[in-house]
Structure 1
Amino acid sequence: MKRLFALLCNLLAALGLNACDYFNLQELKPGVSTAMEVRERFGPPAVEWHNEDGSVTWEYSRQPQGSECYMMTIGPDNVLRAVEQVLNEKNFARIQAGMNGDEVRRVLGAPGSRERFELSRETVWNWRIASQPTGGDPVFFSVHFNDDGRVVRTSRNVEYRG
């Protein structure tokens, strides 16, 4: 039964429906769950980030429609060490002027969209992060890069649906 549920969740995730994340996350226990169990529940990661201590962090972004990005760290012993939803205030504050795209992606995961603005000579990466509590309009965290591919600033905007 668990295998069928995992297969159904993986199918829904492939279609962009991530309602199963909640249930899958409840089943994963840092220090206990294995890398194989993570893959069974979440599928292959979008990116594998290799860490200096021999561990690897797997990126599971739910962009562009979702407002989460999970970074799951697997130790050299193939045991899950940590699960973090990285689209949060602490990590937004880590994005500083001068960082490059790889450094930003390592902190926040894949952006939901990328836009080029010729007049301002900027490329802007956007992450859907939340909805307004009262109106339900989506909120986006944006990172602005100059032509050298370096962060110049960050911003937030609300997509009012009227």
Structure 2
Amino acid sequence: MSRLLSLWCALLTALGLPACDAYNLRALQPGVSTAAEVRERLGPPQVEWPNADGSVTWEYSRQPEGVECYMITLGTDGILRGVEQVLNEAGFARVQPGMSGDEVLRLLGRPATRQFFELKGEAMWSWLIERSTVVTDRTYFTVSFDRAGQVTGTGRNVIPKN
């Protein structure tokens, strides 16, 4: 039965539906699971971020429709060190004025949208952080950049339910 569920989750993941993230992430154990197991359960990462200590962090962003971005760190030995869901208040607080776009991507992963406002000379990236339901509106965490690509500020953008 577990094998059937794994196959079903793999199919959904291949279709771009991260419905089985919780199941797959629970099966991964820091200090035990290997890079091959992570790749088997979650697929290839969107980005591989090298770390100063030789480890690597794999990005699994569920943007633009999901509200998660998992950063999975693997040691130099290929063993899982940790899993972090970075689209949360602690992650948002790490974004500081003066950071580059690459630094923001490293913290929060791929954004749901990127816009440039020519008259203001400003770019804005947005991450979906709360999905629409029957009751709620869509909420995005936003990061604004100047023409030089440096963070000027952060905020929230709520898109009212139609």
Q: Please say if residues 132 and 161 of structure 2, whose CA atoms lie closer than 8 Å, have aligned partners that are also in contact.
A: no
CA–CA distance in structure 2, aligned partners of residues 159 and 16 of structure 1 = 23
**1:48-59 paired onto structure 2 within 5 Å:** 48-59=48-59
Q: Please say if residues 16 and 65 of structure 1, whose CA atoms lie closer than 8 Å, have aligned partners that are also in contact.
A: no
- Indicate the residue corresponding to 2:29 in structure 1: 29
- Indicate the residue corresponding to 2:14 in structure 1: 14
- Indicate the residue corresponding to 1:151 in structure 2: 151
The answer to whether 1:78 aligns with 2:78 is: yes
Q: How far off its partner does 1:136 sit?
A: 2.2
Q: How far off its partner does 1:133 sit?
A: 8.9
Instruction: Look up the SS of the partner of 1:20 in the other structure.
Output: helix
Which TM-score applies when normalising by structure 1?
0.93
CA–CA distance in structure 1, aligned partners of residues 133 and 7 of structure 2 = 33
- Percent identity (aligned): 59
Instruction: Look up the SS of the partner of 2:25 in the other structure.
Output: helix
Residue by residue over 1:99-121, the C-alpha shift from the partner in whole angstroms, topping out at 9 and shown as x without a partner, is 11100000000101101112211
CA–CA distance in structure 1, aligned partners of residues 147 and 154 of structure 2 = 15
Q: Please say if residues 6 and 40 of structure 1, whose CA atoms lie closer than 8 Å, have aligned partners that are also in contact.
A: no
Q: Please say if residues 126 and 141 of structure 2, whose CA atoms lie closer than 8 Å, have aligned partners that are also in contact.
A: yes
Aligned amino acid, residue 78 of structure 1: G
Two-structure CA RMSD over aligned residues (Å): 1.8
Gaps of 5+ in 1: none
Q: Please say if residues 130 and 140 of structure 2, whose CA atoms lie closer than 8 Å, have aligned partners that are also in contact.
A: yes
Which TM-score applies when normalising by structure 2?
0.93
Structure 1 pair 14/124, CA: closer, same or farther in 2 (3 Å)?
A: farther
Aligned length: 162
- Indicate the residue corresponding to 2:126 in structure 1: 126
